[in-house]
Amino acid sequence: MADEELLLNVTTDPNFPVFHRNQRVRRQAQGRGSKNPGKTKRKLLETSAIVPLPSKPTNKSNLAVKRKKNSEPPQDEQSPPKKWNTGRSGEKEETRSMAPVKTSSLFRNNPELPEIHSQPVSTLKEKVFTTDSFSELDVHPHLVSTLNKVLNVSSMTSIQKKTIPVLLSGNDALVRSQTGSGKTLAYAIPLVQSLQAIQPKIQRSDGPCAVVLVPTRELALQSFEAIQKLLKPFTWIVPGILMGGEKRKSEKARLRKGINILVTTPGRLLDHIKHTKSISFRRVQWFIIDEADRLLDLGFEKDVAAILNALNATQEKRQNVLLSATLTDGVSRLAGISLREPVNIQVTEAHVGEPTSEAGANEEVVCQGNAERDSDGYSIPEQLQQLIVLVPSKLRLVTLSAFILQKCKFEGPQKMMIFFSSCEAVEFHNNLFTKVLITHTAGGEAKPSPHEVQFLRLHGNMEQEARTKVFTEFSQSKAGVLLCTDVAARGLDLPQVTWIVQYSAPPSPAEYVHRVGRTARIGSCGNALLFLTPSEVEYAELLASRQIRVSEIKLESIMSALTVEQRKGKAPGHKSQLPASQAAREQATALQTQYENYVHSTKETLLQAKTALQSYIRAYATYPSDLKHIFYVKNLHLGHAAKSFGLRDAPQRLGGKLGVPRKRKPERSGLTGKATYKMRLTRMLQSEYASGLGPTLSSVRKQRKHQRLGVSEQLT
């Protein structure tokens, strides 16, 4: 009887190669000591070739079959066979050819796009312009002349018509109006009028007579420039600006010289209140909070309360104004602590077909009393076209690229703002578009675009000097694409912006209103596009419930822009002309391949892409609780999301710090983990009285016990 573990292989073929264990060891030894490793490797391959078996089934050798499997490993369908060194004299050693990278397809395994059922939405409308002129107001003639000649405005908007008389009468006011309706001039004109009328004239040494509080640095610059233009005929009134990113030493010097109208951000003003002795609020007569809801969203509620306490400590009698495009609970609380018997000013039209008062549906509202939250709807410019596109996660990057090419290259120069969820995403996409999209591949050959698209970036991690430069450059340019975060979503008046693209959905409908408010300002036309994934389709219903009317644009209509250059110069019916959908898919795949090749070209670009993906997922997890059913982080397919950042695979350690090697725990000597059954059986058989734990394990436990006893003795 043969042993159960003994395997006999019998063959009748005399030519069958016989393998001996000693011969294999000897051949391996010869291969290590050979001077020409390539020749030895080639000989080994030749000797290990399998002789074909006879056609008739004979006694096959299991050993031969095993060696055949080992000598011929299966090749990937996409990868060519490896090239080995030939070992010939006078020729360079050939290296193994690099196999092509295996990537997933853009158009496979994508979720189905649901249909958006559009419902009739009754929107809130607001009349922007009036026929009333500034000359009809009781203001200085020089101020009216400055408005006409310097600012090129002659007639008032509706919110200005209602706000300016109220503020000139000395009342506190809570002003709510849609974005781009002229709220800055609504408070700046009565402010300048009241200060220039003071007799005797105010002097620079009097210090601040008015404090204007704004949430962002860019809005501070914009408000300061507007007030500075209004003060041209009144040279004795000195405006000034305080904001983060500037040198405190120079700001303290300006405060010592004197500033009459102080435009500032809350953080920097509170810093000077605590550390600058020369600042004084004894002569403050105006306190204005612009974009009040944004101040609260950024977490400045405590800072604003501290500033109010500092103002009340020196001068309680002053005129207070709050301005906002949306009215929230936080704004109502802030109005309660800062305003005294305010006049609530808002110019809206009632819901279409639903008059709210006996006076009719188009009555302008100016009511007095405490403001209440109005979360039923938002007022959006009537000339703003709002679109939504449903895009699978894989196709987000190429779809955004196609849209940029379509609007800013093929349809002529335009100004576009694209909102991202994080600073890292802005930096990554700016680098990617600048390096790859500008030199977009057309017809398989990379060539620069005849109309280059200028990309700019703006986010909170930039230096203040760079932020100011970008803000000024984009404001003065006639075309370009600004990649930004929500730092550019409030109050900025950027002229001639035709498109607002929200690549990441805003955290609330109010934030949506502020983003799209960067276009269609002061009666001009504008467009807005919101990217949503199939799992986020309920967000469209949420916008509709807030009286925000959106329309769907199909993904195919955007992707077709990638085939514009390919169709140029080809007559209809050309043989090489592919169907539009197939050609768009090929161009999208080619563009995605360029992105992935660039991302994986260096360690720096790869790390930047991983960091951007990490910040995107973290931002996705921070949506408010009432939107978690729409933006649920576990609904994200990490592999598909990584594809939209030019990554071929989802990176590991998304929750940790990328680019830093993980610290390994030191291995504990004597502990080998869980012992296998054979090891435990061996230890038990070593001694009749053994416990089965082993000598090393028991000694380690005893050593730990002694250490704990020593520590307890030291503590006592």
**pLDDT tier at 346 (50, 70, 90 boundaries)?**
confident
**pLDDT tier at 360 (50, 70, 90 boundaries)?**
very low
Res. 390: pLDDT tops 90: yes
Q: Judge residue 110's burial from the number of C-beta atoms within 10 Å of its C-beta, 0-12 exposed, 13-18 middle, 19 or more buried.
A: middle
> Does 410 fall in a domain?
yes
Query: Does residue 384 contact residue 512 with C-beta atoms inside 8 Å?
Result: no
Residue (of 133, 130, 157, 128) closest to 143 by Cα position:
133
| Mean per-residue pLDDT, 641-652 | 88
Length of the chain: 716
What one-character-per-residue DSSP string does 620-662 give?
HTTS-GGGTTTS-GGGS-HHHHHHTTT-SSPPS-TTS-TTSPP
**pLDDT confidence of residue 170:** 94
Q: What is the pTM of this model?
A: 0.69
Residues 298 and 176 in one domain: yes
Give the least confident one: 101-105, 327-331, 439-443, 679-683: 439-443
The SS3 assignment for 262 reads strand
> Does 519 fall in a domain?
yes
Residues 351 and 405 in one domain: no
- Report the distance separating Cα 463 and Cα 468, nearest Å: 9
**pLDDT confidence of residue 250:** 92
Percent of all residues in the chain with a pLDDT value above 70, rounded to a whole number: 67
Residues 195 and 336 in one domain: yes
- Report the distance separating Cα 557 and Cα 588, nearest Å: 13
Query: Does residue 391 contact residue 532 with C-beta atoms inside 8 Å?
Result: yes
> Does 661 fall in a domain?
no
**pLDDT confidence of residue 676:** 66
| Mean per-residue pLDDT, 635-643 | 92
- Report the distance separating Cα 591 and Cα 610, nearest Å: 19
**pLDDT tier at 392 (50, 70, 90 boundaries)?**
very high
Percent of all residues in the chain with a pLDDT value above 90, rounded to a whole number: 45
The β-bridge partners of 125 are: 349
> Does 521 fall in a domain?
yes
Residue (of 545, 542, 649, 552) closest to 596 by Cα position:
649
**pLDDT confidence of residue 665:** 59
Residues 600 and 698 in one domain: no
The label of the residue with tokens 């999209």 reads 437
Query: What would the two tokens of residue 413 be?
Result: 């120069």
**pLDDT confidence of residue 707:** 56
**pLDDT tier at 43 (50, 70, 90 boundaries)?**
very low
CATH number for the domain spanning 223: value is 3.40.50.300
The SS3 assignment for 133 reads strand
Query: What is the per-residue burial (b if ≥16 Cβ within 10 Å, else e) of 217-245?
Result: bbbbbbbbebbeebbeebeebbbbbbbbe
Q: Greater confidence, 363 or 172?
A: 172
- Report the distance separating Cα 712 and Cα 715, nearest Å: 5
Calculate the alpha carbon distances from 592 to 240, 243, 394, 399, 647 in Å. Answer: 49, 41, 10, 10, 10
Which helix (H) or strand (E) segment holds residue 700: the answer is: helix 695-715
* Overall domain count for the chain: 4
Q: Which residues lie closer than 8 Å to 187 by C-beta, 6 or more apart?
A: 163, 167, 175, 288, 290, 321, 323
Residue (of 374, 457, 372) closest to 418 by Cα position:
457
The label of the residue with tokens 């906002």 reads 324
CB atoms within 10 A of CB 148: 14
**pLDDT tier at 444 (50, 70, 90 boundaries)?**
very low
Calculate the alpha carbon distances from 472 to 225, 469, 543, 569, 627 in Å. Answer: 12, 5, 33, 40, 36
Residues 230 and 265 in one domain: yes
| Mean per-residue pLDDT, 431-442 | 79
**pLDDT tier at 329 (50, 70, 90 boundaries)?**
confident
Residues 513 and 615 in one domain: yes
Query: What is the per-residue burial (b if ≥16 Cβ within 10 Å, else e) of 31-63?
Result: eeeeeeebbbebbeeeebeeeebeeeeeeebee
Res. 57: pLDDT tops 70: no
> Does 114 fall in a domain?
no
Residues 75 and 139 in one domain: no
**pLDDT tier at 13 (50, 70, 90 boundaries)?**
low
Rounded to the nearest 10 degrees, how much is the dihedral formed by the CA atoms of 576, 581, 587, 590?
A: -110
**pLDDT confidence of residue 127:** 66
Query: What would the two tokens of residue 702 be?
Result: 């005893």
Q: What domain range includes position 434?
A: 384-566+580-643
Residues 74 and 184 in one domain: no
Give the least confident one: 191-195, 493-497, 697-701: 697-701
> Does 120 fall in a domain?
no
Give the least confident one: 111-120, 304-313, 603-612: 111-120
Res. 343: pLDDT tops 90: yes
**pLDDT confidence of residue 687:** 56
- Report the distance separating Cα 655 and Cα 611, nearest Å: 11
Q: What is the pLDDT of residues 271-285, one digit of tens each?
A: 999 999 889 999 999
Residue (of 409, 416, 411, 402) closest to 556 by Cα position:
402
- Report the distance separating Cα 44 and Cα 23, nearest Å: 12
Query: What is the per-residue burial (b if ≥16 Cβ within 10 Å, else e) of 456-474?
Result: bbbbeebeeeebbebbeeb
Reduced 3-state DSSP string for 136-165: HCCCCHHHHHHHHHCCCCCEEEHHHHHHHH
**pLDDT confidence of residue 489:** 83
Res. 372: pLDDT tops 60: no
Res. 561: pLDDT tops 60: yes
Residues 142 and 281 in one domain: yes
| Mean per-residue pLDDT, 329-335 | 87
CB atoms within 10 A of CB 153: 15
Residues 3 and 83 in one domain: yes
Query: What would the two tokens of residue 401 be?
Result: 């690229």
Query: What would the two tokens of residue 312 be?
Result: 């009340």
Tell me how far the alpha carbon of residue 419 is from its chain's centroid.
Answer: 7
**pLDDT confidence of residue 339:** 92
| Mean per-residue pLDDT, 327-336 | 86
> Does 648 fall in a domain?
no
Q: What is the mean pLDDT of the chain?
A: 78
**pLDDT tier at 498 (50, 70, 90 boundaries)?**
very high
Residues 361 and 388 in one domain: no
> Does 573 fall in a domain?
no
Query: Does residue 212 contact residue 183 with C-beta atoms inside 8 Å?
Result: no
**pLDDT tier at 193 (50, 70, 90 boundaries)?**
very high
Domain boundary among 323, 339, 368: 368
Residues 35 and 181 in one domain: no
Res. 141: pLDDT tops 80: yes
**pLDDT tier at 353 (50, 70, 90 boundaries)?**
very low
